[in-house]
Structure 1
């Protein structure tokens, strides 16, 4: 790389770098070979990956071991954490095909934006170039939205549907009964379910293979499956879980979906794993050191507390959890087995192919126009229905600002790449549905944010004063800190508890011991006398065995004695944003009047009605669990109901 260009990129990174450290995403997509290095003290990734919005912990040189060869780009600057960088390019509109061109002042390359395809159901996907990447064009993710119940009164340009792609531009036509757009866990479940009903299935996915969360996201939630019974999970009343979940999501979830998951998730998990060789690990046991080798190892998580302020039910199991990040970790083998099964029934998978527009005739969705890596358009006819399973819009700056401004500053840490190496999670499935007349579910939308349990610590704002009962769930803690002055709070512990962090991750360094309150106050940036008064009062409540100020469980009150440990906490990061297309109990997309958009189904993170304003930890693994169960339901209904 020429020296002048490297210097410009270095300057760009420094300008975009935030001073505070945030939790970072240990990427686990197998088609990026450099991921295994993330276990080390530092990682090597190419500058192009950084500029596309990935976030890593950098120390020293960077080299990308990217698919297709080793790039020689290097950076010798010592960097701290790199939050997702969202440039704000000037816009130029090219409405044909829905692709909006952007001119980025920080790069000599133009950016092309388009319609939609992606893959992860419980995870997000992204947008790709309308033609193969060249020296003069690269994909830039943009937003999509709806005019229904938006939290932002300024209507963005993406609400205007693009010009239809002309028939003369179509180079190939394929026919199917059901077309699935996106191949994550929900899309793959929809594909197999439709094939099981005898439908000819075509799956369109812009990545080089199916997408699924790897080791760090291999948890899936179910109720009373045979595997959970064999592992000794306690049985429980699913209605209690559903009622609590509705309460935790402020009654914004569709209760019928939660009830469906409770009633069917056990058999759906068994269906997901039935083509694999399954072994249940003993508590604390890890996958074999010699590798997974085509097997499925279930790590049990039967411990739960379905009582107290934030009850948690025993729903989660981890599939092939391997912290060494091999390519075949997580859901890889179940997904692979599903693809083979669909193909044996006549199904077809079009990888490295981007969904661009839905095709409608007389108000009914009858197909999809897709685009190959060579830039050629394909029309895929759907005799029965199209299922959108394209992931979320967490990496879409415009969509986040329009639909979820309260979470727009959170770093999106579940990032995967398409076949061109461009960032995913930009809401293309939402765009295509909206252009076809569907509507977004009512706001607000919840970011999936996981912070560490802080029940046994003292939490203060930057004035040094306690302000909340610290018994907070993961998302609730993020919400609380988000509303603090400066979006920052400080957790303080003493010798009895020891050092703690709010945001686990590869860059999460536990705080060093501090001898005096004056030194602790200097970290917080408050008056020492104020912090001393706060600690004294907290210790007084602990000694009395009653939190008369905020009502915390007395068992969580632990006196704070030196040495002190102070950790600066921010709202954290999010994996995905949980807002999607409105739908009915059959997973059919709905328009703004609540009527079904004929021939269109949604599932995964493209689908709304699952979480509402909050992503609680009431039922761990429920996001993947709903993706599997509702993906299966959407595929079966698409094949049978049309």
Structure 2
């Protein structure tokens, strides 16, 4: 691989925050935070502070321009890509295979590749399995899950082109002896349904995930002449009129300026590694008990900050949190009873994983998790029998791939056994004993179980409206209590783009040669991360990396 190394340079400087972003930050600051909550009047005072020219956030003041005597080299390419995550390396491969010279500027010492589920709509692998989904239905559900705050043109562009983008990647993977698998997980309820379309990949040594798929893109782009500059931290964009003229990156030798004759592509990832940006744009991320963001030091909103300093428009609503219930156990089935730390039932458990995660964080006395209560002689068979009417993370992971037979008891018993070893699952002969083990108030827990069993016998959930098919009674010993709760994954949002990934400025004019893709681009989501097509975050990274490379080559 052609690569260059150096250190990560100095800390980012600041300038007065853009009006639109300040408004968003003021709104976000009104939400409750765990661990770093601002004072009660912070949100109300933000607008006045901004109007007065005061600063609040560390990025409120732009960095001073780097003096020419500190720039050790200027490198010119057709395309400069900032960030070597999945979106960036896909863009590098697409642009280079279409004859463009490419430089990829990455602040870390290696590519930032994670995750393992790649979502798209009606790709050939699912069609060959006889499964084709209704794109209009997906679009409606996507927009609804985004609170109607997404850019519908961008959503439709992804839905129409995602199969093409993923198949482009799959062709390369299959040429490198990867196996393509149909990931069949997804919630199948009447509200928040999740549609088939997700793929997983494994190489000839049974390695899964974006790390190994991304390496294929890196190797191919490198063979096409792309150069990777690792340990080069992009610090600021240089703008002249409606064009970006360069990006300056700190490195061991000082600073390098990168100049692109066709376009600059911002692919720096999300903000989840920067607690301050989460406070401003996605405060709910800070309420999670833990973060599974990786690698440490990446995904700190660098592209969002550089874009704002260069006058780019940022989305004026909260970034979309991806918070999956995977910090504790996988035992959060929709047919189980869920109780909070006070032993009280608090929701209709029959919903998508984002709904379960959000409700956990809103409970009184929350420690980042709640309890799934189940027991007796029906829960196991009911969990298997109702899978095709429920499912979703992580209920259906015992039937991971399409047409796989369910492993049933073996999988569930493994979850219970490992959970007990980790102190996250408790087993008891009585509810009093279970309450003592978990710290739940015994009287409240017993009353909640009695009420739930009463509703199960009626076949009608008079309290929360759960479907009768999901009402599995707790018929007796052994009783189980399993911790479940969300981990903070990513907070997606940033620079506003059109359907061609070009960035808008504050005056709603295109910055002609600046593009943003992947998790630092705004507009594809809103309010929540939609799981309409599981794995769509990685799917959009591949799709828009593929498309922007073609755009810059003049093919689109």
Contact 2:71 2:254 in 1 (8 A): yes
Q: Does 1:249 pair with 2:129? A: no
Which of the residues 218, 225, 230 maps onto 1:339? 218
Q: Does 1:563 pair with 2:473? A: no
1:491 maps to 372
Question: How many residues in Structure 1 have an aligned counterpart in Structure 2?
Answer: 479
Judged with a 3 Å threshold, the aligned counterparts in structure 2 of structure 1 residues 321 and 144 are, in CA distance, closer, same or farther, namely farther
1:392 maps to 270
Which of the residues 489, 513, 517 maps onto 2:431? 517
Contact 2:125 2:182 in 1 (8 A): no
- 1:393 and 1:640 mapped to 2: Cα distance? 31
Q: Does 1:298 pair with 2:180? A: yes
TM-score by length of 1: 0.69
1:637 maps to 551
What's the CA shift for 1:187?
0.9
Q: Does 1:203 pair with 2:104? A: yes
Which residues of 2 match residues 501-516 of structure 1 at below 5 A? 509-516=423-430
1:161 maps to 62
2:442 maps to 528
Structure 2 gaps of 5+ residues are: 1-5, 30-42, 47-55, 381-411
Which of the residues 384, 398, 403 maps onto 2:281? 403
Deviations 1:518-541 (A, max 9, x none): 223335545433322211111111
1:583 maps to 497
Which residues of 2 match residues 9-48 of structure 1 at below 5 A? none
Normalized per residue, the structure richer in helix is: 2
Deviations 1:435-466 (A, max 9, x none): 11113212222221111442011112233222
TM-align CA RMSD: 3.1
Judged with a 3 Å threshold, the aligned counterparts in structure 2 of structure 1 residues 510 and 486 are, in CA distance, closer, same or farther, namely closer
1:441 maps to 315
- 2:172 and 2:339 mapped to 1: Cα distance? 51
Secondary structure of residue in 2 paired with 1:274: helix
1:5 maps to none
- 1:343 and 1:156 mapped to 2: Cα distance? 39
Judged with a 3 Å threshold, the aligned counterparts in structure 2 of structure 1 residues 144 and 622 are, in CA distance, closer, same or farther, namely farther
1:383 maps to 261
- 1:517 and 1:615 mapped to 2: Cα distance? 37
- 2:148 and 2:430 mapped to 1: Cα distance? 46
Q: Does 1:224 pair with 2:122? A: yes
1:420 maps to none
- 1:249 and 1:599 mapped to 2: Cα distance? 29
Secondary structure of residue in 2 paired with 1:486: coil
Which of the residues 152, 168, 176 maps onto 2:77? 176
- 1:359 and 1:305 mapped to 2: Cα distance? 46
Secondary structure of residue in 2 paired with 1:319: strand
TM-score by length of 2: 0.79
2:519 maps to 605
Secondary structure of residue in 1 paired with 2:157: helix
Which residues of 2 match residues 187-336 of structure 1 at below 5 A? 187-213=88-114, 217-230=115-128, 232-277=129-174, 294-302=176-184, 307-320=189-202, 329-336=208-215
Contact 1:481 1:489 in 2 (8 A): yes
Judged with a 3 Å threshold, the aligned counterparts in structure 2 of structure 1 residues 140 and 128 are, in CA distance, closer, same or farther, namely farther
Judged with a 3 Å threshold, the aligned counterparts in structure 2 of structure 1 residues 321 and 623 are, in CA distance, closer, same or farther, namely farther
1:282 maps to none
2:336 maps to 457
Secondary structure of residue in 2 paired with 1:178: strand
What's the CA shift for 1:620?
0.7
- 1:239 and 1:382 mapped to 2: Cα distance? 38
Contact 1:389 1:603 in 2 (8 A): yes
Q: Does 1:615 pair with 2:529? A: yes
2:401 maps to none
- 1:578 and 1:633 mapped to 2: Cα distance? 20
Secondary structure of residue in 2 paired with 1:598: strand
Which residues of 2 match residues 458-473 of structure 1 at below 5 A? 458-473=337-352
- 2:238 and 2:119 mapped to 1: Cα distance? 35
- 1:509 and 1:619 mapped to 2: Cα distance? 33
Between 1 and 2, higher relative CO (CA 8 Å, sep ≥ 6) is seen in 2
Judged with a 3 Å threshold, the aligned counterparts in structure 2 of structure 1 residues 489 and 527 are, in CA distance, closer, same or farther, namely same
Judged with a 3 Å threshold, the aligned counterparts in structure 2 of structure 1 residues 472 and 276 are, in CA distance, closer, same or farther, namely closer
Secondary structure of residue in 2 paired with 1:159: coil
- 1:526 and 1:305 mapped to 2: Cα distance? 29
What's the CA shift for 1:551?
1.1
Judged with a 3 Å threshold, the aligned counterparts in structure 2 of structure 1 residues 199 and 620 are, in CA distance, closer, same or farther, namely same
- 1:320 and 1:519 mapped to 2: Cα distance? 45
2:540 maps to 626
Contact 1:144 1:430 in 2 (8 A): no
